[in-house]
Amino acid sequence: MKGNIIILSAPSGTGKTTILKRVMPELGPISFSISHTTRGPRAGEKNGSDYHFVSKDEFLRLKDQGDFLEWAEVHGNYYGTSVHSVLALQETGQDVVLDIDIQGARQVRQKLKQPYSIFIIPPSWEEQAKRLRGRGTDDDATIALRLSNAKKELGDVDFYDFVVVNDSIEEASEMFRAIILSLRAKGRRLANGQEIALL
């Protein structure tokens, strides 16, 4: 039985990566699609596990070859999702999380049947700015660009199935976990991802 495709979007600095890292190990058959990007790695990010870090030429070559399910320019860099790896993961019965922006989400909704989608929002713009600065990975210009894009991104919130506010990390993580488990139940699967055998 195929797993669910779950789009996950959030304004930069909201805490999407933090939630995923907390919750994914507890959710059994679920994986995260590793995107390609032309952005440089941040301290601690590893090629092939956080992203496939590629040059702009390599990215455009992959795009022209039709390797991407979706791709977009986000905050001045290119990002794309490999169609082959998403479909291969889904075939193994795992749920596949696509951490992509609103432009990518629109493309995936057009191309795939029934992707589910979750939008995470920060409790306030002040808190989002504080988190972006506190992360310490981006310079002031990058932070300003990401904050100004955040308000536009929020305009797509109504296209998403679920909205989670990341105020308390514990509550937001629990909400994310509950959504994944209820999508399995909706697809006639047990919480552990196995198909339900009817009595």
What single DSSP character describes residue 189?
A: B
Question: Which positions from 79 through 138 interact with ligand 5GP, judged by CB under 6 A?
Answer: 79-81, 99-101, 103-104
Which range, of 23-31, 74-82, 87-95, 182-190, touches ligand 5GP by CB under 6 A? 74-82
Judge whether 117 and 106 are in contact, CB under 8 Å.
no
Q: Which does 166 bind (CB under 5 to 8 A by kind): ligand 5GP, ligand ADP, none?
A: ligand ADP
> Under the phi-then-psi rule, with left for phi > 0, alpha for psi from -120 to 50, and beta for the rest, what region is 157?
alpha
What is the C-alpha to C-alpha distance for residues 56 and 49, in angstroms, rounded to an integer? Answer: 19
What separation in angstroms does the CA of 86 have from each of 54, 133, 135?
A: 19, 32, 29
The minimum distance between CB 135 and ligand ADP, in angstroms, equals 4
Among 72, 86, 120, 132, binds ligand 5GP (CB under 6 A): 72
Q: Which two tokens stand for residue 95?
A: 């749920």
- Positions touching ligand ADP (CB under 6 A) are 10, 12-18, 131, 134-135, 166, 169
Q: Which is nearer to ligand 5GP, 75 or 131 (CB)?
A: 75
With vertex at residue 50, the alpha carbon angle to CA 42 and CA 142, rounded to the nearest 5 degrees, is 35
User: How far apart are CB 39 and ligand 5GP at their closest, in Å?
Assistant: 5
Binding site for ligand 5GP (CB under 6 A): 9, 12, 35, 39, 70, 72, 74-75, 79-81, 99-101, 103-104
